[in-house]
Every structure is written in C-alpha cells, then in structure tokens.
Chains A and B, each alone.
Chain A
C-alpha cells in the first residue's frame, strides 16, 4: 500500500489537487454568501463539486450575479 502511494508522482499531482481544492472551497464559500446567482443555487453546488477544475471557474465567470 505504502509502496503504491510512493509510486504516485506527487510532485506532478499535488499542485493540481491543491488548485482544484482551493477553487472548489472558495467557490462554495462565495456561493454561500452571495445574494443571488444566475440559475438555481443548488445547480451550482453540483457543478462546483462534480465538474473538476472547470466547475468553480464556470461559477465565477457566469454564475455570480452582481447588483
């Protein structure tokens, strides 16, 4: 088990995972605080959680509604 874990090229994967997690958390925090979104909020929760990388970005580009 440990050996298999060690075989994974962490130097390659870790930054990707990190970026994904940050984007996801920030998008979810913002979604919680924001007054209104384009489209139903629950839909954005799913997009942010299940569409890797692109989900949170899509939320920031088209999901947020100002004013």
Chain B
C-alpha cells in the first residue's frame, strides 16, 4: 500500500475543495425531509390545489414512522444514489482520459492504495450523507408522527451503509475497468436494474445485496427473518471485496489507456 496516506490526502482535498462533503449530505437531508413533510401535509396540498370536491374524505392510509422512513429510503435509493454515483463514477476513468493520471501512474504507487484511497473518500462522503439523510427524515417523523427506538435505528443505518459500500465498490470497479460513458451506464444498470428485478421477484430471492435497504427497515419493524438478513449481509460484503479486487486489477491493466 505504497503512498496510501498521500493518495488519501489528495482525494480528500479534491472532495473537500469541490464541496462534496457538504452538498451531497445536504441533498440527502432534503430527500429525507420530503416524504414525511409531503405525506403529513397531503390534505392541505390537495385542498390548496383545489380539486377536492365538497365533503370529500379521502381515505389516507394510516402511516407509521417505519413506513415514512421506508419512503425516505426510497428517495435515497433513486435520487440519492444517482447523485453519489454520478459524482464519483468518473474518478478513475476521467483521470485517465484527461491525462491527470499520467503524473500519478509514472510513480511507484500501489494501485491498491490508489483505488482504496478513492473508495475510502467515497465511503466517507456516503456515510456523512446517509447520516444526514436519516437524521432529517427521523427528525421530521419524530416531530410529525412518532419516534423510533435508538438501537434498531442505528442497526438500520448500519445496514444501509453496507449496501452503500457495495454500490461504491461496483461504481469504482466500473470506473477502473471502462471509459467514463461505459462505466456510468454499467454501474447504473447494475444498481438500478438490480433494484427493479428485486422489486419484481424479491419474494423468491431473499439473499441479495439489493434487499439490504428494505431489510434495514424490517429490522425496525421487527419483522426481519434474521437468517436472510445475515446471509445477505455476508454475501454483500463478499461481493464488495471481490469488486474492489477486480477494480484494482483492471485499474492496473488499463494504465495504457491513459492519455499521455
């Protein structure tokens, strides 16, 4: 891991100076606020828009705190991931394409160290983001609906973070392996098509990374089949490590793609 701390410093400086540590978490915070707020004020919004007939009583489903948290996670899963992945998917491929990698790759650096430095920075941004997102969501749910139990809430955040590590490993692996355009398409297909597949056939497919975000909420509800949970967690971590190793290898292999 030659030069890991130097490379880490470089990646942190980049993320810091482009404000990624600030604006991405704030986007997550906004996403976390959206669902509790809109649901709570749904009747007001509808009547303000003015298409509600006199005496109309809509049967709104009675939503509990866990349902709203699930809705917020749904926001993280789409717009949130889109923002995170789009911000980092070029981190290796773009550096190669614009020639900035040249002055790095000619030095005796370890590609594992370089890949890991990017992974650590992306994970840190991701961690701060979901903490911000969860906090915002839980705050509004607490103000408008009801509270959660601390321990399961933290377990839920932890579970979602493991899922994020998987997303990041896939994103960076794609970035190391392909050009920016292909990497973006590939990473998005894997993450989002996977989500759609799991939504359709998830009943039969219980051990999978794509289920972790849902499992995080089920932990709170207390309806989690724990063996499925542990297996999914283990499988996700294994795939994450495999993706990281593939990424290191392809990053090394693709040195010749660097623009000189």
Contacts and interface: CB of A to CB of B under 8 A. Distances in A.
A and B touch in the complex (CB under 8 A): yes
A3 to B, nearest CB: 21
A67 B136 contact: no
A11 B139 CA distance: 9
A15 B136 contact: yes
A30 B19 CA distance: 8
Query: Interface size for chain A: under 10, 10 to 19, 20 to 34, or 35 or more residues?
Result: 10 to 19
Nearest to A60: B23
B144 A60 contact: no
Nearest to B86: A61
A26 B19 contact: yes
Given A64-B18, A67-B98, A19 B29 contact: yes
Say whether chain B's binding surface is mostly helix, strand, loop, or mixed. helix
B86 A23 contact: no
A4 B29 CA distance: 28
Contacts, number: 39
A57 B19 contact: no
Contacts of B143: 11-12
A12 B144 contact: yes
Given A12-B37, A12-B143, A67-B100, A26 B30 contact: no
Interface of A: 11-12, 15-16, 19, 22-23, 26-27, 30, 53, 56-57, 60-61, 64, 66-67
18 contacts: A12-B37, A12-B143, A12-B144, A15-B29, A15-B136, A19-B29, A19-B30, A19-B33, A22-B22, A23-B23, A23-B26, A26-B22, A60-B18, A60-B19, A60-B23, A64-B18, A67-B98, A67-B100
